[in-house]
Amino acid sequence: DKDMSPTGNSYSAQIENNAGEFNYGSLKINSPYAKLTADGYFFNEVDGELSTSTIKLDAIVDLSDNQTINVNVLTHLKSQRIVYLVTSKGKTYKEANEQAQSELLAVFGLQDYSTQDASQFSLIGGDDAAGALIAVSSLVLSDRSEAQIVEYLSKLTNEFGSTGTFSENTKS
């Protein structure tokens, strides 16, 4: 809901193709906000192979604002930050999403892409936002086993969630 409290309603959809497309149909929900979780195998852009294990990525989105939604590394990294800013700092979803987006992309030196929501970034988009997403994904994937990727994403998400940045140790 608007306070980021789970409503208890859950819906599922299947990923339809290798581009990661899914369709949640016409849901009748009381709040426009949703936590989307993509769970499955992924393509590792660094080594050019499909994963042998699964990963879960989240996105906190306003469904009324989007025709197309992508769940990706950026939406995952900012998801806990959005919840934190709404629940602990009294921000609206829109304010929290914009702040989390701005902070996250600035940490990676990609602040020029902060005007487009990360849920609109697609690896296959063929635009500059796709390049920004590939850059961040590559940093996360580089020189890590699949288990280490999951562990690293968890560390990044938790650290960024409450601070809006990463420690100097994490950055290095």
**Quick check: 90 and 84 in contact, CB under 8 A?**
no
- Pairing mode, strands 33-40 and 43-44: unpaired
pTM of the complete model: 0.89
pLDDT tens for each residue of 141-158: 999 999 999 999 999 999
Instruction: Calculate ∠ Cα 80-86-91, nearest 5°.
Output: 135
pLDDT tens for each residue of 61-107: 988 876 778 899 999 999 999 999 999 999 999 999 999 999 999 99
As beta bridge partners, residue 60 has 35
At a CB cut-off of 8 Å and minimum separation 6, what does 126 contact? none
**Tell me, what's the pLDDT at 41?**
86
In the DSSP assignment, the letter for residue 36 is E
Give the mean pLDDT of 12-31: 70
**Tell me, what's the pLDDT at 88?**
96
CB count within 10 Å of CB 143 equals: 6
Residue 18 pLDDT > 70, yes or no? no
